[in-house]
Amino acid sequence: MIVSLTSIAAAFFLEKTEGYIILLLILMYIASFSASVGAVTWVIVSEIFPNKLRSKAMSVSIVSLWIANFLLILVFPLMLSRFGGAVAFLIFDVMCVILLAFTF
């Protein structure tokens, strides 16, 4: 995910956003997210809580996840228009680096 986001930011910085390069990099990001953080999130949410609290705690966790997704969808176009593509993708790149550090 870090490699694809860094590459997307570099492509925006170098103004090489036409053609299939950006599409391939975004598809690479989606594939790496789906194979790692995307799948692990659902496994952790279903296993982390004790049985007595599992249904309520999973409900709160999943609603929080969907609210965060919704807010991201609202904020991303604003980030693109205000900061440009390079900075917007670098912000998400930094978030992935923090996630990697947290994971280790």
46-96: pLDDT as tens digits: 889 999 999 999 999 999 999 999 999 999 999 999 999 999 999 999 999
62 exposure class (CB count in 10 Å sphere: 0-12, 13-18, 19+)? middle
Q: What is the pTM of this model?
A: 0.83
* Rounded CA separation 40/78 (Å): 29
User: Average pLDDT, stretch 8-26?
Assistant: 92
